[in-house]
Every structure is written in C-alpha cells, then in structure tokens.
Amino acid sequence: MWDPFEQTLKTFGHENLIQANPEAVEKLKIPERSKKFMTEIGLPKENILLCEFDLNLDEFPTVQEYARRCGSHIEIDLHLKRIGWDGGTQICLDESQHTGEVITIDIEGKLPTRFVNSNIETFSGFLSLFVADYCRFSNGTDKELDKKAFKLDLLFRELDPPAFNSQDTWWSCIAQQMKEGLL
C-alpha cells in the first residue's frame, strides 16, 4: 500500500523538507495524521510545480487575513488556512469539516478555486511522485514522456480519486499539461 510519508522521505530526503512549527500546527483543525506529517515529515523546500510553502509561522493565517495584508479586499472563506502558494494562487488547508483538504484560491479573484488533494500528506506524496516518476525523465523522448504522464495520471486517480473529480481540479490541470508536453 502506498504511503505518502515514505514516498516524500524517499524522494526528497528529510534534509530537503521543511517541517511546520508544532505550535502553529496544533491550532489547525485538521486530522492528527496530517498534523504529524506537517511537523515530522514536512513539505519540499525545493520549488516543485511552482509550489512554495510558508511553514515557519507562529500561526497560519486565514487566506482572508493574508489577502488583506496583500491589499486585496476580496471576501474569502475564513475556514481556509494559507500554507503557501503555487505561483498564482494560495495553497490552503480547509478547516471547515476538519478534513484538511488542500485547496488553491486566487486572492485577486481572477483564477478559479481548485481542489488539490484530500489532505496535505497526499499532496506532498503526489509532488514526490511527480518528481520521482516524471521529472527524472524530462530528457526522454516525447513518446516516453507521454507514457510516463499517462501512467502517473492513472496512479494519481487511483490514490486520491477526488483530485480528479472534474477537469478543473489542480491535478487534472497538471495532468493535462503533462500530456500536452507543457511540463
């Protein structure tokens, strides 16, 4: 059975992961497994798919608080805690149902809000698989890359089906970009 904890450590190594402040994580309304992942394993320090994580905080701001600090006056769900960004949208954990689902949202209101993964550990595991199974073959032929993209797409769909519930999820967009050779 696939384990995102092991996958993340195997791909990046503990020295290349940033762990979250335990006091800040304890305040989050997310599953204990996700809290453990954030404090003990962590997320990649390296920029993967433009994702950068802000984990060394005393408290994770709501995306609304973050938007206001950036000068945006858009009204945004207060149950979303910002943990980073992907170069265009904010990466957030949804606390509304205590599930810790990962969502991206544009604080300028131009890009759609997208579901990413069912939890933070699966998100990190998917980033790890992307690096291990796709990026390492980026110098391959178009046919080899197409094959890798197809296999990775199938694996992602099996591991976290909600990440592909529509064509507008974050990973659906990434998968499409892989298939089109844009990544």
- Rounded to two decimals, the pTM is 0.94
62-71 pLDDT, tens digit per residue, is: 999 999 999 9
What CA–CA distance (Å, rounded) separates 25 from 155?
A: 29
The pLDDT score that the predictor gives to residue 134 is: 72
Under the banding of pLDDT at 50, 70 and 90, the label for residue 138 is: low
pLDDT interval class at 181 (50, 70, 90)? confident
Query: Residue 173 is inside which H or E element, if any?
Result: helix 170-179
Query: What is the per-residue pLDDT for 130?
Result: 92
CA 112 to chain centre: 16
Nearest-CA neighbor of 105 among 115, 95, 96? 115
